[in-house]
């Protein structure tokens, strides 16, 4: 949702993206496995993203994805709908010029995301946790005068408990009154995440490579009878992105990227491909 670049006062962009993700191997706890009753799980999403520079130091960001998830084996119904709408603010708290080298920035960001449709959360093909999430993070970025940049960020996501669509049958360790499950309500583990990104940004091309790690708090492992929102989902992912403006209409650009799940717990070992169309709106501060 947030990166190390500020839009600047009066500048704004909107992006529409499509992504395709699939896996037939997933981690139960930290053990890699497959399930013939699920086969390959495929997720397709269409997303809207917008960012606006309210001031030179403050950006506002919104996002809303529409997601469809399917399993090509077994009896699980396809799940589709709007997932979680998100709103974030990002503030450039400190910036230091480093002479001919470039500049170093420190940013803080916070946001909230909440479900925008009554999708089912306790299924292998669920499109989300259906929790309301509060997200706070710190971002630091070095930008050289030659276009190369290096950024890192760390965040903490606090998730609300969710109501299930059925009275799931709990395992003994997740019985009624446990920290994970109580009747129709399931705990969703909070999480820390960390990421680093190395890239190049100019008026002609943008490219980056990144590594992202999420560590979930205490929760359950995937298993029969366990409501899936209580699973402790952790992972390490890597990927890259490329973006270029159109030569004769630089306000519009095309982007693409891919990512890979290297390892994790209670998560699919997925490969993801995405493409986007970005439009930079005219600056509303200019007369």
173's tokens: 């360790």
pLDDT tens figures, 116-152:
999 988 877 889 999 999 999 999 999 999 999 999 9
Domains of the chain, start order: 12-281 (2.40.160.40)
pLDDT averaged over every residue in the chain: 91
pLDDT-based confidence at residue 224 (cuts at 50, 70, 90): low
The conformation of residue 167, written as its DSSP 8-state character, comes to: -
Separation of alpha carbons 272 and 19, rounded Å: 7
Strand partners, 12: 52, 281
* Beta strands per DSSP E along 54-190: 58-71, 79-82, 84-97, 102-115, 133-144, 148-159, 162-163, 181-182, 185-186
The helix (run of H) or strand (run of E) holding residue 255 is strand 249-265
Residues 201, 205, 211, 217, CA torsion sign: positive
pLDDT tens figures, 245-281:
999 899 999 999 999 999 999 999 999 999 999 999 9
The CB-based long-range contact list for 247-251 (8 Å cut-off, 24+ gap) reads 250/203, 250/280, 251/279, 251/280, 251/281, 251/282
Per-residue model confidence (pLDDT) at position 38: 85
Closest CA to 233 of 173, 188, 172, 273: 188
Q: For the chain, what percent of residues have pLDDT higher than 90?
A: 73
The conformation of residue 220, written as its DSSP 8-state character, comes to: B
pLDDT tens figures, 37-70:
888 999 999 999 999 999 999 999 999 999 999 9
Separation of alpha carbons 99 and 145, rounded Å: 9
Bigger pLDDT: 225 vs 90: 90
138's tokens: 């710190």
Strand partners, 154: 138, 194
Bigger pLDDT: 161 vs 164: 161
Per-residue model confidence (pLDDT) at position 122: 80
């Amino acid at each position: 949702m947030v990166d190390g670049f500020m839009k600047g006062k009066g500048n704004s962009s909107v992006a529409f993206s499509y992504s395709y993700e699939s896996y037939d191997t997933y981690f139960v706890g930290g053990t890699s496995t497959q399930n013939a009753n699920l086969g390959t799980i495929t997720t397709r999403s269409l997303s809207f993203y917008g960012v606006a520079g309210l001031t030179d130091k403050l950006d506002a960001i919104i996002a809303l994805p529409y997601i469809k998830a399917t399993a090509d084996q077994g009896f699980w119904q396809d799940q589709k709908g709007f997932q979680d709408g998100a709103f974030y603010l990002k503030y450039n708290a400190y910036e230091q010029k480093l002479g001919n080298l470039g500049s170093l920035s420190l940013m803080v960001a916070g946001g909230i995301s909440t479900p925008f449709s009554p999708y089912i959360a306790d299924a292998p093909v669920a499109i989300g946790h259906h929790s309301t999430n509060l997200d706070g993070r710190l971002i630091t970025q070095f930008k050289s005068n030659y276009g190369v940049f290096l950024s890192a960020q760390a965040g903490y996501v606090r998730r609300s408990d969710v109501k299930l669509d059925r009275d799931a049958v709990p395992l003994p360790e997740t019985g009624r009154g446990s920290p994970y499950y109580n009747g129709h309500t399931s705990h969703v583990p909070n999480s820390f995440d960390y990421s680093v990104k190395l890239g190049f940004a100019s008026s002609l091309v943008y490219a980056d490579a990144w590594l992202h790690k999420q560590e979930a708090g205490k929760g359950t492992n995937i298993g029969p009878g366990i409501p899936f929102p209580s699973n402790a989902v952790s992972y390490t992912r890597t990927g890259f992105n490329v973006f270029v403006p159109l030569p004769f209409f630089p306000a519009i650009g095309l982007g693409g990227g891919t990512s890979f799940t290297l390892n994790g717990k209670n998560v699919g070992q997925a490969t993801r491909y995405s493409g986007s169309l970005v439009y930079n709106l005219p600056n509303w501060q200019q007369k």
